[in-house]
Structure 1
Amino acid sequence: MNIESKKLGNFLAMARSKMNISLRSVESLTGISNAYLSQLETAKIKTPAPQNLYKLAEVYGVPYILLMELAGYPITEPDGDGTRGSSQFAARIGAVTDDEEAQLIEYLDFIRSRKIMRS
């Protein structure tokens, strides 16, 4: 058991306890099995999937970056322009197909063009 997984497990158990919800409730809210959640809380999972940490951050109302840090993932600071690296974005959305990637890029271009038109 490494220190990071123990810290993360304790934090997740406390967050769930404060919300007074069961593992099964978290399972229904996140789609993550209660067995996996239990293993996270007892530090049996050394490297949890970032997309699962993101789902848990949403349910528990805690910063995703905090869960990533507690899990032992390297954390990057925002660049001077307020942006973060693409690796964090990729971790949040998980694997995508080539078609999905193209659609995401197209949609992001659309959003950015709207911002330019507004300024």
Structure 2
Amino acid sequence: MAGQRVGEHLGERMTSLGEFIAAQRRAAQLSLRQLSEQAGVSNPYLSQIERGLRRPSAEVLQQLAKALQVSAETLFVRAGILDPDDGRPDVVGAIWADERLSSAQKTALLAVYAEFARDQAASEMSTNRQGNRT
């Protein structure tokens, strides 16, 4: 039952992310095709993201954020990669603000960071489930 709730929550989050991306695209007066070209992702893939059918990687979120001129952190929070209220330093903002790094380096660092954060969250969830069984 708990797994089903997590799956439903993730589905809701992906739909919300997709809806947000679609709204930002429309606000920027971009067609789906124009945004896909600017972000360097395929038109069908972007359509699936907007409809909540696909979960984009941190790298794709970075590319979409850049093309939409929104912060990557905003998309990471909407995708559930980052928790806005976790009280941790703004790692994403710090990486983006560091002028010593190239865009490719920032993307790589953020992809690694997002993967580590996801792994840690999964580990904590597993630990909490095991703790609740005892």
Judge same fold: TM > 0.5, yes or no: yes
Q: 1:83 to 1:13 in 2, by over 3 A?
A: closer
Contact 2:58 2:110 in 1 (8 A): no
Contact 2:73 2:82 in 1 (8 A): no
> Between Structure 1 and Structure 2, which shows a larger proportion of helix residues?
2
Alignment partner, residue 27 of structure 2: 18
Structure-to-structure mapping, 1:1-119, within 5 angstroms: 2-45=11-54, 47-75=55-83, 77-78=88-89, 89-91=109-111
Q: Relative CO higher for 1 or 2, CA cutoff 8 Å, sep ≥ 6?
A: 1
Contact 1:54 1:92 in 2 (8 A): no
CA RMSD of aligned residues (A): 2.8
CA offset at residue 74 of structure 1? 3.2
- Distance between the aligned counterparts of 2:94 and 2:71, measured in 1? 16
Compute the TM-score of the two structures, normalised by the length of structure 2: 0.57
Compute the TM-score of the two structures, normalised by the length of structure 1: 0.63
Count of paired positions? 88
CA offset at residue 6 of structure 1? 1.0
- Distance between the aligned counterparts of 2:45 and 2:69, measured in 1? 20
Q: Considering only CA atoms, is the larger Rg found in Structure 1 or Structure 2? A: 1
Contact 1:51 1:92 in 2 (8 A): no
- Distance between the aligned counterparts of 1:59 and 1:73, measured in 2? 19
Task: Give the 3-state SS of the residue equivalent to 2:52 in structure 1.
Answer: coil
Superposed structure 1 runs of 4+ greater than 4 Å apart: none
Q: 1:92 to 1:34 in 2, by over 3 A?
A: farther
